[in-house]
Amino acid sequence: MKRFLMGVLATLVVGVAIGAAVVYSGTFDVSADTPHSPLVHRLIETTRERAIERRAREVAAPANLADAERVRRGAGNYAAMCMECHLAPGQANSEIRMGLYPAPPDLARPASTPENIAARQFWIIKHGIKATGMPAWSKGGIEDEAIWDMVAFLQQMPALTPGQYLALVESSDGHSHGGITDMKDMHGESGGTPTAPPKARGHDNSDGHAH
């Protein structure tokens, strides 16, 4: 038994030494344009999914997520805050999304629906995910009700055509939510104007963002 314990201890010491060597040598490639190895990717993915699953169990979704007013409000905030990474109906990709690793999920496309999807989406939007580019929007002052509005919109978006998506965004209050005291200073007295998807805004190569 003593030999077994010594063997386990020696293995742990060697493992820690190898890990320290990798960390301090700088050999581990952290560039976003180089994918993880399959093993590292699987470990990170499993850790992330199990962590979200566990915490989402504590979230109770409101009963009115199908409410049209919730969906309308959520459309404006989604277009302003989420679309560039998570896309919109009819949008193939975006500049920022192409440079992110791991790539954010395309929320405009129908996908397999995990159990308790609304609670998962709420938790992710509110708390973010470390080292993925997904921010914790609650840190930006977005209150729970506005997050649930976005979740309500996400439930409907995969079934929308590009025209229906744009109509919802244009009917919304744009980038509008409580929790930030200087929202009027940032977006004007009304809290902002609707943000149109890429086709409506265009990609102007003569002025502004040009390359």
Torsion of CA 114, 145, 104, 87, to 10 degrees: 110
Q: Which domains does the chain have, with CATH numbers?
A: 52-201 (1.10.760)
Tokens representing residue 47 in the block: 């850790």
The answer on pLDDT for 87 being more than 90 is yes
Using left for φ > 0, alpha for ψ between -120 and 50, and beta otherwise, residue 119 falls in alpha
Find, among 197, 206, 203, the residue nearest to 91 by Cα.
197
Identify the band that residue 208 occupies on the pLDDT scale cut at 50, 70 and 90. low
Tell me the two tokens of residue 145: 């009700």
- Least confident segment among 91-100, 146-155, 184-193: 184-193
Top-confidence residue, 195 or 153: 153
Q: For 113-141, how does the pLDDT look when each residue is reduced to its tens digit (9 = 90+)?
A: 778 999 999 999 999 999 899 999 999 88
The structure tokens 């509110």 sit at: 126
